Amino acid sequence: MDLAKLAIKAKDLLDNDPDAIIETDIEEGRLLICRTGVDEDDYRVSLEKQIETEDEDGNLDEECEEITETGSSLEEIEEIIGLYLEEGGTEESIS
Strand, helix or coil for residue 24: strand
pTM for the model:
0.85
In the chain, the N- to C-terminal Cα span, in Å, equals 9
Kindly report, residue by residue over 66-90, the tens digit of the pLDDT. 999 999 999 999 999 999 999 999 9
Kindly report, residue by residue over 17-70, the tens digit of the pLDDT. 888 999 999 988 899 999 987 776 779 999 999 988 877 787 877 888 999 999
Closest CA to 21 of 36, 9, 34, 37: 34
* Distance in angstroms (rounded) separating the CA atoms of residues 49 and 67: 7
User: How high is the pLDDT of residue 68?
Assistant: 95
pLDDT of 1 above 80: no
pLDDT of 4 above 80: yes
